[in-house]
Amino acid sequence: MIQTPDFSYLEGLNDVQRQAVTTLNGPVMVIAGPGSGKTRVLTFRIAHLIKTGVPPANILALTFTNKAAREMKDRIEVEVGHHAKRVWAGTFHSIFAKILRVEAHRIGFPNDFTIYDTDDTKSLITEIINQLNLDKKVYSPGAVKSRISAAKSNLITPKLYANNEELMGLDRMNRRPLIYQIYEKYVARCQRAGAMDFDDLLLQMFRLLYQNPDNTREKYQNQFQYLMVDEFQDTNYLQYEILKLLTVYPGSNHNICIVGDDAQSIYSFRGATIENILQFESDFPELQTFKLEQNYRSTHFIVEAANEVITFNKKQIQKKIWTDRPAGNKIKMVKAASETEEGKRIADNIIEQKNRHNLKNKDFAILYRTNSQSRIFEEQLRRYNIPYRVFGGLSFYSRKEIKDVLAYIRLVANDKDDEALKRVINYPKRGIGDSTVDSISQLAEDNDMSMWEVLTKIDFSQRAKKGMVDFVQLVKAFKAKAASSDAYATAQYIAKHSGIIDHLKADKSVEGLSRIENIDSLLDGIKEFVEDDELEVNEEVTIDKSLTTYLQTISLMTDADQGEENPDTVSLMSIHAAKGLEFKSVFVTGLEENLFPSYQSMSDPNLIDEERRLFYVAITRAEELLTLSFANARYQHGDMRFNDPSRFLEEISEKNIDNIITTTVKPTFGEPKILGAFKPKQLGGPPKVDVEGFKPSDPKDIRAGQKVLHLKFGEGDVKSVDERMVASILFPQVDPVNEKRIMLNFAKLQILE
């Protein structure tokens, strides 16, 4: 008997959402206003594809954070079961990195290529600038990096760059006429080192498809029969060209669905172009468009204010956001004499709103145009003992001690990685000076080989020789360990025998101890990576716990993918970082001319429009309470500046404004406490398991019907075990409904009965 698919999830959608979910073939554009249920539409659409017979492995869903991809797959799994694991879902960079790990050799890169981060890129550019004897004050590595990144994002190779009179003329005007040479050498050095930067993950994917070695393009066109792209308004030229290569070809049904909102296009500084979404219909004339205009997030006055503001932008897809939520509270404005007073009044208002509206810390967000504005708010929140979390600070993986350990790991995974080698060849110190390192680098350049090859083939002076011999033997020992051990055992061995931990132990300061704790935390993360036994597959079960896979995983992490230490904290973040989030109460701060909108946008109407879209995004993060603040004076670049209120404030009509607060709101209890530092509380974890009494059983002994114990998930019931040693287990303490797919060869399970 054929079982009819369960489409009950369609009943919870409004008419336009349902049409967007069930229109599966051909090009589809979903214009999703803020709070309109965009994520539901995207996930239910994928679930609907699977339930109507499309194999999950033929579906590609591209997002802008790995966290969004994980949440999407979790939601799909609720509807279709573990088949959701086979959907290709991830960021552009993570999906393309995964493909390039298989195909890179076809375009001249090793499949175990290194992914260079921003620091690696700047380091290599700095070295090239030095080799060319150029002035680093004129040829700033950061500026050169941005120039190269923009060129790659627009498919401009070094040769095309050198022949482009507009680009060359601009460089001459900025007294940097040799950028094209730096670009040319940078590309050659990356190729030689077997390395790709973040832009290359897109550019080399384009090359792979465009040049089509061994019919690779047809392979992935057949693989990805249905494409979905979230936040399409944030794509750049290169990303869109890759999508076209995957969808526009003879016999194609152009099964591509884009979801986005032109009114929330705010990333032009990263290369994103609003033109992609505005011109999508001209590229796909048979397009079907659905506008999600009902806002389920915000109350009436907030929605009306957002509509008023965005009407001042000329280039946009017309829509009218509406809500049937109650009118709620009108918008408040805070006028402060200075930035310090602005911070104090916002802290006062948080206390008042917590008491009046029974809100928690996590219900609040303080948003600002630039990260440097966070300092004042941090100081005031500490005064009142209000716990907070700043988003966009120094990433864990950007800390020196972490990058040092990872450099050794990178070198073991790919000995052509010159940037990793330069970082650790004399750390901890082993008598190899900068001049020797420069000589090695120059020999590598002259002989078109990696620095590692130079070290292993060329003789050096006796003084530096011992240090280099010791270093080569050390790395070879690490490689031998990696060949016979998993990523955790190898990393632990590297951390211990590299000398880094002993070097840090010599520093008895609090900072020194903190650095050792950070390395311990890194090792804990690698162990978790190795022991994570929950199934994550596409077409087939792939078990890869190598150093290369681990490095790829962390290289592609963003702030949005990090876990929370304490969930009940006020969130402080730039408006760019707040996109996609929502809070019951939002404070949008620093609304002054030359700050928001930024002084850099004043001469360009298109940039003013983007600043207005940024303000629109800020407003629509608020569910119930919205406060807009500005200061008459604030320090900027060391000088006291007196700015006019932002023009955006004038674009909101008086009917949506409550009042302008000009007197300090007194806290409703006690005096504030002065804290030296904020220490978040520890979270309660998953089911507690007695680690000492835990004894893992032989995986071969695990059968369906048994009750087992897992260190992370607690007690579970084994529902089935297939021939690949993959078990379906229900852990009721974690999820009473959905089973987890566990790889028994990696799992540690104790049979209970």
Place of tokens 């050799």: 105
Specify whether 231 is catalytic: yes
CB 560 within 8 A of CB 67: yes
Under DSSP, is residue 200 helix (H, G, I), strand (E, B) or coil? helix
The catalytic position among 63, 121, 235, 264 is 264
CA atoms within 13 A on the CB side of 463: 5
CB 632 within 8 A of CB 46: no
Burial of 523 (0-12, 13-18, 19+ CB in 10 A): middle
**Alpha-carbon distances, residue 158 vs 122, 143, 392, 657 (angstroms):** 18, 16, 33, 53
345 catalytic residue (yes or no): no
Q: How far is CA 214 from CA 104, 479, 512, 612, in A?
A: 12, 32, 53, 47
Query: Is residue 39 among the annotated active site residues?
Result: yes
Catalytic choice (120, 230, 339, 739)? 230
Q: Are 535 and 82 in contact (CB under 8 A)?
A: yes
- Measured CA to CA, the distance from residue 20 to residue 10 in angstroms comes to 11
Query: Per the structure block, which two tokens stand in for 121?
Result: 């890129």
Residue 370 falls in the annotated catalytic set: no
**Is residue 369 flagged as an active site residue?**
no
Q: Got the DSSP string for 131-191?
A: HTT--TTTS-HHHHHHHHHHHHHTT--HHHHHT-HHHHHHHHHTT-TTHHHHHHHHHHHHH
According to the 3-state scheme, what is the secondary structure of 524-568? HHHHHHHHCCECCCCCCCCCCCCHHHHHHHHHCCCHHHCCCCCCC
Q: Which of 549, 419, 488, 401 is nearest to 102 (CA)?
A: 549
Catalytic residue list contains 323: no
Structure tokens at 638: 């060391």
Within 10 angstroms of residue 604's Cβ, the number of other Cβ atoms is 10
Contact 377, 367 (CB under 8 A): no
Angle at 98 (CA atoms; ends 97, 103), nearest 5 degrees: 90
Measuring CA to CA, how many Å separate 305 from each of 142, 217, 462, 486, 626? 38, 47, 74, 56, 10
At 181, the amino acid letter reads Q
What CA–CA distance (Å, rounded) separates 643 from 71? 42
- Pick left, alpha or beta for residue 580 (phi over 0 → left; psi -120 to 50 → alpha; otherwise beta): left
Buried b or exposed e, range 651-684, using 16+ CB within 10 angstroms: ebeeebbeeebeeebebeeeebeeeeeeeeeeee
Both tokens of 578, joined, read: 């707040």
Helix (H, G, I), strand (E, B) or coil at 629: strand
- Out of 112, 117, 231, 610, the active site residue is 231
Catalytic residue among 17, 18, 38, 185: 38
The DSSP secondary-structure symbol of 590 reads: -
Tokens representing 697 are 């059983």
Count of residues making up the chain: 753
Side chain identity at residue 165, one-letter code: E
Within 10 angstroms of residue 355's Cβ, the number of other Cβ atoms is 12
Coil, helix or strand for 66? Answer: helix
Q: Which of 67, 147, 621, 741 is catalytic?
A: 621
CA proximity to 277, closest of 91, 92, 89, 27 = 27
Closest CA to 240 of 202, 195, 266: 202
Positions marked catalytic: 38-39, 230-231, 264, 621
